[in-house]
Structures are given as structure tokens and as C-alpha cells.
Amino acid sequence: YVIAHGGAAPAILARADQTFNFLSNGNDGFALAYGEETDHTILDAIGDFSRDPGVAWSVCGRSGGTKDHTLVRKPSVATGNRGNWAASAGTNVDDCEWVVHPVNTWTFLGSH
């Protein structure tokens, strides 16, 4: 599932499932959910909605991993984290569900 900024390059917008003009600067959580605002199920999330991380959340043992990086799910991950960001983020490259790439890495856009 690809969420892109409405002002993104045409090649990115062509792959987007949804546009959203307020995208994270690294310390905002995002979740994919279905249902209603008061009765929903979280399918997947980046970030912990119960706390403000300051600048960014750590991912795969990388401090500040959600700021100025591109997160790509590891191919071995078949389902979303259902809102359990801590388990998904892990504490090192072996126990996390992500690969942390440099900012603006588009190679994996729309694939998993």
C-alpha cells in the first residue's frame, strides 16, 4: 500500500493507492485501519500513538530511524503489525520487520 504526498513526482503518484498532504517528518505515527473512527481495526502502523518520540522512533536498532529514511518491509513479513510498533521496530537488524534505507529510496515503491 503506497501513500504519497499530493505534490509528489508523477511517477510516485502513479503508484500511489492514496494521497495525503500531511506526511510525517519522522515523529508522527501512521496506521492503516479499516472500520469507523470509533470502531476500527489497525492492520499496520509505523510509530507508537501512545507517546511522542521527540525527533523520531528507533527502528532495527537505528536511533532516529523514522526520520530521513525510507522504511521497507522485509520480504519475510507477510502481515501487518496490528499496531504493535515495538515488536515491528525491533531492537536490531535481526529482530525487526524493516530494512532502513537512505531517504528518497524509491526502488521498492509498490512492491513487497
pLDDT of 60-69, one tens digit each? 999 999 999 9
- The residue ranking higher by pLDDT, 17 or 49, is 17
Range of the domain at 51: 3-102
> Would you say residue 86 lies in a domain?
yes
Counting the structural domains of the chain, the total is: 1
Q: For the whole model, what pTM was predicted?
A: 0.84
> Would you say residue 65 lies in a domain?
yes
Phi and psi of 48, rounded to 5°?
-110, 110
Burial class (CB in 10 A: 0-12, 13-18, 19+), 96: buried
> Would you say residue 67 lies in a domain?
yes
DSSP 8-state code for residue 59: B
Give me the chain's average pLDDT, please.
91
pLDDT-derived band at 27 (thresholds 50, 70, 90) equals confident
> Would you say residue 89 lies in a domain?
yes
- The residue ranking higher by pLDDT, 46 or 26, is 46
Phi and psi of 61, rounded to 5°?
80, 0
> Would you say residue 64 lies in a domain?
yes
What is the per-residue pLDDT for 3? 84
> Would you say residue 110 lies in a domain?
no
